[in-house]
Structure 1
């Protein structure tokens, strides 16, 4: 069993139902995007994942389909009736196990992710310095305008539509006078493209309770992620998880293999204050 599988199983097993209360908005729209991305720097292989953007009057929430299904499964009463093997078969795969909430009408976002036993969130204010262009094109029958911006080491081109006057979009992108339909970096290593717009009924709620999370600074969050990437086995053991290795050589080989993969990791955010993010 490789280290990635060990960590994935551990992360899944310790997830528990979260009860939200502070943000409790009725969702008006569900936007579906397809994200095509290049996970590794030393490979030309690209992968695809379906992503959702839920929009309410005051907030938007960006989340991968896999993460959304995991959260829905864990919140269901049916999960208690599943055996471990059934549970594992029902867990969808995702490369993006976080979600982002944008406070509409502001520059404030809340980024949330679970690292081992702890659920973290940090607040971030991003002032995207968009440059508008005269170019236009149609996407899904909507008239879209072009804008460009630089963010965390990448140069992006976005296409947005005033026909849906909600200043938000996928991931941490917002600040244009309309919904972002498409956005991609200059190398197209991360390419978000809208695939569907759906109006939802009143029973769908966008909710979040910060009391269920540990609030940290973005810097502290990144340092925790870096420690996990450097030596995940050590962090697992510090969390009380004992891993069985036949010998120290096997353990070292697993750590070295993981470190090598992390060196080739190609994150969407390349730098923060001049430093590369993991």
Structure 2
């Protein structure tokens, strides 16, 4: 009985200790402006970082940045992150280079296991974002060149979307062609949030390379079908969205 009670107290102390760990919540505005689309759109998003556990980036598609006034951290009652149908998630365990997220081809969704690699080049350029000192870094990634400003002031590492590998927290990042931009709008911390868990179904994950092959097959299948009808190439499924998905054939 003594050993059982001791074990129970030990487990309880671990749980209570973890519950007091700080969770960082960084709010962003995510802007996309594809050339094939006549309008751009901006969605609110949030990055949840538990330095000793996991990181979760949530994009609230279908909402506008103004809606963050009522719920600045997309954090419902009880400090539990809720999965909603229009939300997109990017999940990464602490210290793991593997990123898990949901993506789609036409109307079919896939859970993708990706290992995006960024070869960052640090520069001497700097600026302040939300009052934090930020250093500039650049990288080429899957068809685009990005410039990012990150801060070491908070003592944590993290980034929205697929970005990874800088010695600090990215607060502003954009593609130099103007298609993609993520800007931090606020930073908060909480003590009693539940441990971050992967909200995605991982029973049938595919790799990034498998996803690209599926996309490419669908792209050329649609293109051949449209050309066969004498209407030319279809613009509804571009070779390049945020990333290059279809390589040119020789």
Q: TM-score, normalised by structure 1?
A: 0.61
Larger Rg: 2
Q: Secondary structure at the match of 2:235?
A: helix
Conserved 8 A contact 1:119-1:212: no
Offset of residue 218 of structure 1: 1.7
1:22-171 aligned within 5 A = 28-39=23-34, 41-43=35-37, 45-57=39-51, 58-66=53-61, 72=82, 98-113=88-103, 120-171=110-161
Q: Which runs of 5+ in 2 are unaligned?
A: 1-17, 63-73, 76-80, 223-228
Matched residue, 1:267: 241
CA distance in 1, matches of 2:201, 2:41: 35
Q: 1:206 to 1:230 in 2, by over 3 A?
A: farther
* Match of residue 181, structure 1, among 171, 174, 187: 171
Q: CA deviation at 1:133?
A: 0.7
SS in 2 for 1:261: coil
Q: CA separation of 1:186/1:117 partners in 2, compared to 1, >3 Å: closer, same or farther? A: closer
Q: The residue matched to 1:220 in structure 2 has which SS?
A: helix
- Larger fraction in helix: 1
User: Where does structure 1 lack aligned partners over 5 or more consecutive residues?
Assistant: 1-23, 75-90, 233-252
* Structure-1 separation of matches of 2:39 and 2:192: 41
Q: Distance in 2 between matches of 1:155 and 1:101?
A: 23
For each residue in 1:172-210, what CA deviation from the matched residue of structure 2 results, as whole angstroms up to 9, or x when unmatched?
A: 101111000000111121011000111123234411277
- Alignment partner of 2:124: what SS? strand
User: What SS does the corresponding residue of 1:270 show, helix, strand or coil?
Assistant: coil
Question: Does the 8 Å contact 2:117/2:164 carry over to 1?
Answer: no
Equivalent residue number for residue 85 of structure 1: none
In the other structure, the counterpart of 1:5 is: none
Matches of 1:211 and 1:66, distance apart in 2 = 19
Report the alpha carbon displacement of residue 53 of structure 1 after superposing the two structures with TM.
Answer: 0.8
